[in-house]
Amino acid sequence: MATTHVELRSMPGTQAATGWVGGHTVTVDRAEGVAGGAGLGFNGNQLLALAIGGCFCNDLHTTAHAMGVILTEVAVSVEVDFAGEPPMAVGARLTAQASALPRDVDMQQLIDRAFAASAVGNSLRRGVRVELAAA
């Protein structure tokens, strides 16, 4: 089993946080005026949508590579619906378009294979367990 580990810490002088893995960072905050947020970064809902779409983009390239295809352009759009109190994601939709070399590749087959292999998408569809561990 592989494990991914990230760290997040408060950004001094703000109520936002910086998350990182290695040399890669992301800023997390609430919208300006929401519970002390200043709009300095993505909120959790946006990060969830980015995780779904970002993982899928990577899976498109990985699937293409396995098929001997070079993707020349990828466009992915993600919508996540939230409902309830507290709010939770109740559905997500992806749309994807891609161009490839060779041009005669069955793009829908490639997209379908990538969707079936997507770790984040599969985790959400199958109901990943999330727990709070003692510090």
Q: Are residues 35 and 66 in the same domain?
A: no
> Which DSSP letter does residue 94 get?
E
Q: Total domain count for the chain?
A: 2
Q: Are residues 72 and 122 in the same domain?
A: yes
Q: Are residues 36 and 55 in the same domain?
A: no
Q: Are residues 54 and 120 in the same domain?
A: yes
CA-based nearest residue to 98, from 58, 60, 56: 60
Q: Are residues 14 and 54 in the same domain?
A: no
Mean pLDDT of the chain: 95
What contacts 126, CB < 8 A, 6 or more positions away? none
Q: What is the pLDDT of residues 122-135, one digit of tens each?
A: 999 999 999 999 87
Q: What is the pLDDT of residues 98-121, one digit of tens each?
A: 999 988 999 999 999 999 999 999
Q: Are residues 35 and 53 in the same domain?
A: no
pLDDT at 135: 78
Residue 135 lies in a domain: no
Q: What percent of the chain has pLDDT over 90?
A: 96
pLDDT at 102: 87
Residue 112 lies in a domain: yes
* Angle at alpha carbon of residue 86, lines to 84 and 87, rounded to 5°: 55
Query: pLDDT-based confidence at 49, cuts 50/70/90?
Result: very high
> Which DSSP letter does residue 42 get?
B
Q: Are residues 3 and 52 in the same domain?
A: no
pLDDT at 87: 92
Tokens of 17: 């946080």
Q: Letter for the amino acid at 69?
A: V
Q: How far is CA 129 from CA 49, 86, 103, 123, 124, in A?
A: 18, 17, 41, 9, 9
Q: Are residues 20 and 66 in the same domain?
A: no
Q: What is the pLDDT of residues 64-100, one digit of tens each?
A: 999 999 999 999 999 999 999 999 999 999 999 999 9
pLDDT at 33: 92
What residues make up the domain containing 60?
43-128
Q: Are residues 58 and 99 in the same domain?
A: yes
